[in-house]
Amino acid sequence: MKSKTQTHAERWGLFELALEGTDEGNPYKECLLTAIFRHRERTVDITGFYDGNGVYRIRFMPDTEGEWTYKTASNYPELDGITGRLTCGAPAAGNRGPVRIRNRYGFMYEDGTVYHAFGTTCYAWIHLNEHLQERTLRTLASAPFNKIRMCVFPKHYSFNSEEPVYFPFVRTEAGEIDFSRFDPRFFANLEHRILQLQRLDIEADLILFHPYDKGRWGFDSMDRETDDFYLRYVLARLSAFRNVWWSLANEYDFMKGKHTEDWDRLFQIVQQEDPYDHLRSIHNGTRMYDPGSVVMYDHGKPWVTHCSIQHWDVTLTAVWHDLYKKPIVIDECCYEGNIPQRWGNITGEEMTRRFWDGVTRGGYVTHGETFLHPEDVIWWAKGGELHGESPRRIAFLRSIINGAPADCEPIPAVYDVPTIGVEGEYYLQYFGLHVPAYRMIELPDTAEYSLEIIDTWNMTISDVPGKVSGKFRLDLPGKPYQAVRTRKITSDINNNPICHKQH
pLDDT exceeds cutoff 70 at 43 = yes
pLDDT exceeds cutoff 90 at 252 = yes
pLDDT exceeds cutoff 90 at 493 = no
Residues whose CB is less than 8 angstroms from the CB of residue 110 and which lie 6 or more positions away in sequence, other chains included:
12, 63, 96, 97, 98, 99, 100
Report the run of H or E that residue 430 belongs to, with start and end.
Answer: strand 426-432
d(CA 175, CA 177): 7
d(CA 272, CA 211): 25
255-300 per-position pLDDT tens digit: 999 999 999 999 999 999 999 999 999 999 987 555 556 789 999 9
Angle subtended by helix axes 260-273 and 224-238, to nearest 10: 30
438-484 per-position pLDDT tens digit: 999 999 999 999 999 999 999 999 999 999 999 999 999 999 999 99
Average pLDDT, the chain: 94
Local confidence band at 161 (pLDDT 50, 70, 90 cut-offs): confident
Of 11-20, 168-177, 412-421, 487-496, which gets the smallest average pLDDT?
487-496
Local confidence band at 499 (pLDDT 50, 70, 90 cut-offs): very low
Residue 321, burial from CB neighbour count under 10 angstroms (0-12, 13-18, 19+):
buried
Q: Which domains does the chain have, with CATH numbers?
A: 3-89 (2.60.40.10), 99-402 (3.20.20.80), 413-492 (2.60.40.3950)
- The mean pLDDT of 345-368, rounded to a whole number, is 98
> What is the structure's pLDDT at 47?
98
Instruction: Please state the pTM of the whole predicted model.
Output: 0.95
Report the run of H or E that residue 237 belongs to, with start and end.
Answer: helix 224-238
> What is the structure's pLDDT at 209?
98
The percentage of the chain sitting over the pLDDT mark of 90, rounded to a whole number, equals: 90
